[in-house]
Chain A
Amino acid sequence: MSAYDKVLLARAKDRPTGLSYIENIFTGFMELHGDRRFADDPAIVGGLAQLGGMPVTVIAMEKGGDMKDKVRRNFGAPNPEGYRKALRLMKQAEKFHRPVVCFVDTSGAYCGLGAEERGQGQAIAENLVEMAGLATPIVSILIGEGGSGGALALAVADQVWILENAVYSVISPEGCASILWKDPKRVKDAADCLRLTARDMEELGVVERVIPEGEGRDFAPAYAQIKEGLLALLPQLLAMPPEELLEKRYQRFRAF
């Protein structure tokens, strides 16, 4: 399977989106809304849930179900208020010392007038800094498209996992082909050159784990693996003194 086939799979319409992961891995999800500054961004869903009886803050990018829902959620392209809501919920998690689990799936942060007016760059920048210093465990899981800074804004974590057919890239293959080669038809070459597949992420040390998807569209085994993995990892991370947790997180990103 070529890198570009993976890109298409990661974008496939029938691929489960953020909310499916929340529903299938956690219990008792209560969604919390709004960034307390401007609005509630439906492209990012966040709230509280339980995992093995333990309270967890869960945040997911959500591309939407039917067309109406996709439009409402801006096809999973967050505005600044989405990132600010995510940060608000993370700070809450830090206060109550519960872990944060993020599901990342976006073609990128939204590129619109309002997004610029309300500081898209500033919102992402703030998340990167605050996540680097958040004194509670964070695990981020790339489930579909990991589109550049807009994805990284939920992925400065103690561990980053990726689904077998998800991708993570600094720019879309389309963007790369048109900027670098002025030739949108060279998307496949761009996808190869960018090294954006789950295997690439593992080789480059960008992720700790690749979650197999298996055959077909049944994601139950993937949900089960993620759940099992989180049940094993989160207690370990919670047991670590905050200084040690943060220093390890620092060194994790310092290595690049």
Chain B
Amino acid sequence: MNLMGLFRSPQNELEKGGKEAEDQGIRNSCPRCGVQLPLTDLQENLNVCSACGYHFRVGPRERVFFICDEGSFQELDSDLMSRDLLGFPSYDQKLRNAKLASREKEGVLCGAAQVEGVACAVFCMDHNFMMGSMGTVVGEKITRLFEYATQHSLPVVGFTVSGGARMQEGILSLMQMAKTSAALKKHSDAGNFYLTVLTDPTLGGITASFAMDGDVIMAEPGATIGFAGPRVIEQTIRKKLPQGFQTAEFLLEHGFVDLIVPRGGQRQAIAQLLRLHGPAVLNPAEKEKEGAAV
């Protein structure tokens, strides 16, 4: 399944789907229920299957488009790019491929934005860039975002999607977990709000660092969330995993997620959470409205 083409103009006939596809209307089949979904319907429905509610993975710019007020997003640190710091075989090539696949320079998009008028700092990880793996640049961008948010007393809203650490950067990748944790600790100690939205998949070093550190942790329905990947666990325990293990719903049941919000409701829920983390003072205008409703 290739969703890359959804939010940019097609580059060639193949991406356009060719003449035949044009005639019939391009369709994608839902990996969960198998229903054929016309691309235009899927796009309109925020890339959620209208039949079964399956959430297709979406890129960071689509996330920003879904969540942030139009024109409010101002990208930060857009030019930071990874280098092959350890001389790891074929890492350079993988980086080039990832840039082509994602049309981004690295695996996380960061910026300042507004959600229903509330200013915040936003990061969105990118599954198309080496499955959102965290190397030094992803760690650096997220750290800088927290430092920026601390400096400007802004809440942080972070969308996670990641297979974990970036092996090609070895121990330097592991150090990013400590670096980002230290930065978000400063942000938190200064009394700022941090909301994470866990999307499919959120695994490994991301779960074991900033994904699980939100003051409030939201998750997308059906997302796989865990520390160890499902295959690693199966190899360790030599058994098949039970149905529904490590889903967002499983984490909710076990007390590790605050709420599950379908994509269509996220903008409103995020805005509400941001407002509810404003100063706890009476607002005469709002008080009036609440009174009138009774």
Contact = CB atoms under 8 A, between A and B. Distances in A.
Interface string A100-133: 0000000001111101111111101110111011
Contact of B245 (A113, A122, A124): A113
Interface stretch (A9-17, A50-58, A196-204): A196-204
Contacts of A176: 167
A133 B233 contact: no
A126 B212 contact: yes
Interface class of chain A by DSSP: helix
Nearest to B246: A116
A81 to B, nearest CB: 14
A171 interface: yes
Given A117-B254, A120-B227, A206 B171 contact: yes
A180 interface: yes
A111 B178 contact: no
Nearest to A247: B186
Interface string B241-266: 11001100000001110000000000
A116 B175 contact: no
A26 interface: no
Interface size class of A (residues with CB under 8 A): 35 or more
B170 A195 contact: yes
B236 interface: yes
A125 B208 CA distance: 4
B178 A156 contact: yes
A149 B171 CA distance: 10
A116 B136 CA distance: 27
Interface string A162-201: 0000001111000110011000000001000111100011
B167 A132 contact: no
Interface size class of B (residues with CB under 8 A): 35 or more
A171 B136 CA distance: 16
A113 B237 contact: yes
Contacts of A168: 171, 174
A122 B256 contact: yes
Contacts of B57: none
Given A119-B256, A132-B181, A133-B185, A256 B175 contact: yes
Nearest to A83: B208
A125 B170 contact: no
B89 interface: yes
B227 A121 contact: yes
Nearest to B226: A116
Interface string B187-204: 011000000000000001
Contact of B165 (A133, A170, A204): A170
A196 B167 CA distance: 12
B59 interface: no
B245 A152 contact: no
Contacts of A155: 178
Interface string B55-95: 00000000000000000000000000000001011000000
B228 interface: yes
A194 B85 CA distance: 11
A124 B207 CA distance: 9
A68 interface: no
Nearest to B169: A170
A112 B143 CA distance: 31
Contact of A149 (B174, B210, B241): B174
Contacts of A159: none
Nearest to B188: A129
B28 interface: no
A225 interface: no
Given A117-B254, A124-B227, A171-B165, A149 B208 contact: yes
A109 to B, nearest CB: 7
A253 B139 CA distance: 11
Contacts of A117: 254
B199 to A, nearest CB: 15
A132 to B, nearest CB: 4
Most buried by B among A113, A120, A128, A195: A128
B281 interface: no
Contacts of B184: 129
A116 B213 contact: no
Interface string B127-163: 0000000001001000100000000000000000000
Most buried by A among B172, B182, B207: B182
A149 B205 contact: yes
B177 A152 contact: yes
8 contacts: A111-B232, A120-B228, A121-B227, A125-B207, A125-B210, A132-B182, A193-B170, A250-B186
6 closest cross-chain pairs (CB), A and B:
A121-B207, A111-B228, A121-B227, A128-B181, A256-B175, A132-B182
Interface of B: 86, 88-89, 136, 139, 143, 165, 167, 169-179, 181-186, 188-189, 204-205, 207-213, 226-228, 232-233, 236-237, 241-242, 245-246, 254-256
